[in-house]
Chain A
Amino acid sequence: SQKIEQNSEALNIQEGKTATLTCNYTNYSPAYLQWYRQDPGRGPVFLLLIRENEKEKRKERLKVTFDTTLKQSLFHITASQPADSATYLCALVPSYSSASKIIFGSGTRLSIRP
């Protein structure tokens, strides 16, 4: 069956270190993969999009990689800060669909301690 998995356990990182979050999927052929940030009590906010033919995308301190062989995306936050503490969601857009149905992972909670 189709699955998209993010580490359900919270990730605790010391300020200044690099945080790495994982998104694994099975039985999908994603055309796109998106990453969102969600703060408690608020809606998700879009961060980055990476296409299947792109290996890496960067935006300021954020970096996303996409390995279609491993069926995995990694999301990195370098020089992490307490303000980066939030839940991070990955989302797939399957290539077989009309691109109207995004599938979200359940998210990983990231906590940056000072």
Chain B
Amino acid sequence: NAGVTQTPKFQVLKTGQSMTLQCAQDMNHEYMSWYRQDPGMGLRLIHYSVGAGITDQGEVPNGYNVSRSTTEDFPLRLLSAAPSQTSVYFCASSYLTGRDEQYFGPGTRLTVT
């Protein structure tokens, strides 16, 4: 099993550009989520999904969109990048709910100039 994979590992965007961060898991987990991690702020939940076709907002959803068309994939879209979105982004999955242990991907380091 590859676990949770994320692409790309690094990305530099100009303000106003859009892009999609990819996340996939091969563990047949129902729950998937996106976090951003900033120095001194900890992990903050952006969006999450409890199954294919179901998504909901987390703590900091503004500027991001998600969709979940399959169990395996949970892409995160930045609609119009802003410098405030410079961060490290982690995708995570767990078996059924947020109560279960979370499996994290390796992260994407995004810089918006």
Contact = CB atoms under 8 A, between A and B. Distances in A.
Contact of A46 (B48, B56, B97, B102): B102
Interface residues of B, number: 26
Given A89-B42, A105-B42, A31 B90 contact: no
Interface string A101-114: 11111110000000
Output the residue of B50, B90, B104 with the most chain A CB within 10 A: B104
Contacts of B58: 101
Which size class do A's interface residues fall under? 20 to 34
Interface in B21-53: 31, 35, 40-45, 48, 50
B106 A101 contact: no
A100 interface: yes
B31 A100 contact: yes
Given A101-B45, A103-B45, 6 more contacts: A46-B102, A93-B98, A99-B98, A100-B50, A101-B58, A104-B44
